[in-house]
Structures are given as C-alpha cells and as structure tokens.
A and B are shown apart, each in its own frame.
Chain A
Amino acid sequence: MRTIIMSPKKDFRISVEAEVISPDRLALLDIDQIKKLAVWQGNRQHILSDLFTVESDDSTATAGDTTVRLTGDFSKVKRIGEGMTAGVIEVQGSAGMHAGNNMSGGLLSIAENADDWLAREMRGGKVVVMGDAGNYVGAGYRGEKCGMRGGEIEVSGSVGAYLGEHICGGSIRIGGNAGDFAGAANQGGTIFIEGCSYLPGAEMSKGTITVKGTAKVLPSFQKMEVVQIDGQAYQKYAGDLVDNGKGELLVGSVRMV
C-alpha cells in the first residue's frame, strides 16, 4: 500500500489542469518522477513540484494499492482523477471542475465541495462528496449523447442544474436539492434526490428518477398510480412523452403551478 500526499504551495488565482493526479498516473513512478510531471496553469506549463509539495515513500505499487491524499485547497485544480481505473483519491478539502471525469474504477472522495462537471461521463467506480457539487454532475460533455454509463455518485449536499444529463447507466444519490432539469435526457440511469428539483426528466427515454421532496413536473409526463416506497407515498409518472419515453419519474410532493 502506497500513500502519496500532495498539497498546493500557494493559492491559485488561475486554475491548474492536473489530470496527472490519479493513481494510474502516479503509482508506478518514484517520487522524483512524480515531481517532474507536467501540469498546465493557464497557458504556462509547469512541473508538479513548482505548484505542489509531494510526499511519498519511494516504493512503487499498482494503481489499486495506491492512495493519493490531497490536503489543502484544491478548488482551483481541475481534472483530479481523470480517467482513473483503480485506487483511492482522498480530497480533504474541495475539488475543482471535472473531478473524476471518465473514471472507470476506484474511489474518489471529496470532503468538502466539488465544482461543475463532477464525474462527467463516468463509467465505473465510486465518487463520494460530503458537501455540495456544481452543475452537470455525471452529465455528458457538450454535444455528447451519453453521459455517465456506470458506477455510483453520492453527494451529501445539494447540486446544481443538469444533474445526470444524458445519463445512460449507473446510479446517483443526492442528499440535498438538485437544480433545474435533473436527469434530462436520461437513457437508463437511476437518480435519487432526497430534496427538491425543478422539471426533472425532460426528454428522458428510460431509467428512473425519484424526487423525495417537491418537484414541478413537465406537462409531457403521464400521471400513473401512487406508489409506496419505504413508507412514503410517491406520485408516479411515465415519460417524457415528447420523446416517446418509457422512463419512470417518482415525486414525493408535486408542486402545482
């Protein structure tokens, strides 16, 4: 088991693109090689040790046996854990945009907040956020037909708009509220929202979206029966009928507007 600990040397005013911070990229390198990895800040290229302190024993390990611990403020550091397949990343503060994008395995845990595009186009593994997350959690990037395809996302706080847009598989659980258009164009994923949302499931064709709190439902959803889940009553809808959808939308408390 190898642990690599990294910490920013200063507060970044300009974001850093650090897709190298991932067990897959670091596990097989010794400490000097890690320090020399290239990262971009704005339009300038740096080596990792210009911007971060890096501590680790010199043993190499497989990605699955590696933990990367990020201490300090990583909220201006983008693409942490991009494409990771195994191992653990522990962000002890907040993480910047695109954290865990395209990951297919392993665990990314974020103690505070995550920015936009958390775990976009994720294929497998698990992402846990203790605080809030931004827009487009688990979504597809611009123009993409398929967002998250597998794996699990858990956010204890609230998330922004377009949660799980174009989701094709996997599951998302939100402890707080979700913004506008949660689960838009859902094609087979499962989304559970403890709090409220606005117009969930627009253009969904498959999959399930559950909103335990209140939600405004689009008129293109067909009202079905009331179902009981874990002692609570949910109004069930089928849709989105504009797309001839066969999706399932469950709402704890429907807002009439």
Chain B
Amino acid sequence: MTVAGPRLQPTLFELSKAGRGGGKVAHPPAGALDRIPPAQRRQTPPGLPELSEPEVVRHYVNLSQLNYAIDTGFYPLGSCTMKWNPKVNEWAARLPGFANLHPMSPDDVAQGTLQLLWELEQMLLEITGMTAMTLQPAAGAHGELTGVLMIRAYHAARGDLDRSEILVPDSAHGTNPATASMAGLRTVSIKAAPDGGLDIDAFRAAIGPRTAAVMITNPSTLGLFESRIGGLLDLVHGAGGLAYMDGANLNAILGRFKPGEAGFDVMHINTHKTFSTPHGGGGPGAGPVGVGPKLEPYLPAPRVLREPDGTFRLERPGERPTSIGRMRSFVGSTGVLVRAYAYLRTHGASGLREVTDDAVLAANYLKQRLTESGAYDIPFKSVCKHEFIASASSIKRRTGIRTLDIAKRLLDKGFHAPTVYFPLTVDEAMLIEPTETESVETLDAFAAALIEIAHEAETDPEAIHAAPHDTPVRRLDEVAAARNPNLRWRPATGDWTPCPD
C-alpha cells in the first residue's frame, strides 16, 4: 500500500473492535479497587479504542507517511530554523540514566543530569554574552513570559511602578505582544524604517517614563541585522527601561554577535531552532533565558548550583526570595536540554561559527538566485542573515496568483512551503530560511521550483489556483471547520464522513 503512495487512514476509533488488544500489563487482583468509595469510581469504562498491536503500529506508521518532515525533505520555513535533527541526540536523551531519572530525586541521585544542565548553562552564557541563566522555560514564548515578568519585578523592586509599556516593532512575532499582555503590560507597536530596520526616531518619540522595556528580534523577522541596535539600547537604558532580545533568530549570529555584550538585559533561546532539538510536529521545545546582572536576582526557581566541592544541587524552596517564582513544575524540559547539550558539544566554538556562516551564506545564495531570476519581488536588497523575504506582490498584480497559491504549488513539487504572510508588514510575504544543513544542490532545486512556478503563473494560472494536486488531501475547507467545529470523535452523531481510501 505505501509503495502506491500515502493513503488517508481511518481513525483509531473506527478501527476498534471490542475484545481486541490486551496482554500488555498484568491483571490486578480482584477487589483492588474495593477501598475506593463507589461514588468516586468511574461507572463505565472510557471509550478508548480496542486494538491489536499490529493495528496500532500500522495506523501510526501509515499516518506518519502523510507528513512532510526534515527527514523527508527541504523545509524552508522562515523563522522556524528547520535544520537537521541529529540522530545521536535521540540516542542521548534515551540513555536510561537520563530517561528514567525522577524529577523529585534527591540531588545525590541526580548528579549526572545536574552536571549536564550546569555545563549547558555555561555554554549558553558564553554564546549569548549573558551572565546568568534559567533552563526552566518550556518554549520560546514561555521564555518571553519569564523574561518580561523579570523585567516587571525589576522595576517593581525599584519602586518604579509606572512602567507599563513594552515597545515592540511591528514586524515582531505575535508571541511578543501576546506575552506583554499576559504579563499585564501594554504593547506599543513601532513601525519599521523604510529600509526595514529599527526607526530610531519613532522609538525616541515613544520611549519615556512609562517604558518598561523594548523587545527586539535581532536579526529581525525580515532577516536583517538591526544595525541601529546600539543607538536604541542607549536610548532605552538612558530612559530607565530595559532591553529584551527575542532569540528566535540566534542561528544567524553564533560567534558573530553576543546580545549580552551589546547591552541586552535579557533574551530567550529556542533550542528547537538554533540547537537542533526536534520540532516534534509542534513541540516540545525549550526556552532557556539568559540575563544580565540587573535581572539575575529575579530568575525563576530553582536554579542549578555548583557547590565549592564540585557537586551540584537545585535551589531549595524559598532559598532566593527575590525570584519571580516558578514558571512550571520541576526543573525544566531536561530531555530536550540533553539534546541541545549534545549539539553544542558536537560543534564546539569553531563548529557553531561555521553553522552561522553557512546558514547566512546559504540564505544569501538562495536570495541571489531568486533576485537574478527576476521572478519575485525581493523587497530588501541588502545582505540578509539566515533568512530573507520574497514577495509575490507583482505576480499577484499581473496574474491574480497569490503567495498562498505558490506555497501550495511548491507542495506538488516536493518541497515544504516557506512561512507565508509573515511578517505582516510585507505584502504577499514569503519568509525563506534554508538553514546550514541543506546542500547547494537542494538550494538550486528549490530556486528552480520557485522560478518555474512564477512562470506557470503567467502560462497556466489555473493549475496553480487548484494546487496542490498530488498531496494526500487538497485544499481544505477551513471556514466550515471553524463555523461548525468538530473537535473530537463522536460515534453517535451520524454526521461522520467516512474515510475515503
């Protein structure tokens, strides 16, 4: 069946047949639940599917084959850094000593993992130029919230209680303003300068006694290094505010720019971008946060500490009262951090610099190929960092073909689409990030596919409007999905569409 191409699958529930399965766990003795009061017990078993092992395995293997993945092809999703996920990292995280360690273990029992976490912090501090770090946040946005809550705590501790605004460029990820709201702060959106960079005059006009911080992604979501960042940091610090750096694009600056050295007070890192931990179909990630001296007292608890005798321990509850508290349970997403550690050890200083150099070289090369072709608008001509923007604005004007259509047509040609319609500030945007782990042959093939689609837009627009043609399903009715949400399997409703294959 798989050689004939991926097929849609019935759900687990449609496959279920009463009486199948079993043999995985031993039966408990009769009466094991007698001491549970009847009112507290489940009256009917949950409606979980009953399946044999071969059915479960085939279901998930066949489903997996409906997915595009880094392991199957090029994934130029801008802002997501879809680089290779090394296989040794998976092996490392599954070592029994790491995988089977209970999070409430006494420190004596956990010395190996605690040492790894401490060493990882030291490496990340060196890379970011920060002076202290927490590994607790579970993802980039979680790291953002951690950082912004620390900024609030800093101002509050100084009695500086009117600082209620965060200044964010309009090209920022949606998580930045959403984070500010969760932290009880108001977002002030600042328009970019015509060259795509920071508009220092606009910031100067907005910065004042209400400014808690500026939140800057550098390189920006346009793929440009913020060359005026030094001036902005002076401005905000001069006004008593702090500077947050969104580290989403750290892959572009390893060994080239250390945010802490430049004067940023706090930044988060997305290990699932820069440090190769798998994206997992949406997660998990990890979002370590580095800080400078001003914010160190407010780091979440517990931190990992090294004792004078060389042993390691976690902070005890209440040991550091200035902490903003916990962001989650336990110490952090350690299994993700083991993978990041393996990646950093594999590369070392020279390897990490090469990662950045190759990522930036690949992005500029691909951008050059598209620029030469004249097929797309390239709104920012200057050297880019790890990603760049192309736009279908002119194509749309001429042919009616939009970025969305081009993205779908790329799927027919065997590529994942770039990030589309982001950042919001560019018309018909495609944000393209090749990463350092794609060969020049792949970059050429991708450029050729994009150029071919631009040509098709002129000659056969209908084929593109109707794309994709060769994927397991074609364009979906998202409006119907939202108007009448069906968010779970319901055997009895009768409105179930049967599986077609």
Do A and B bind? no
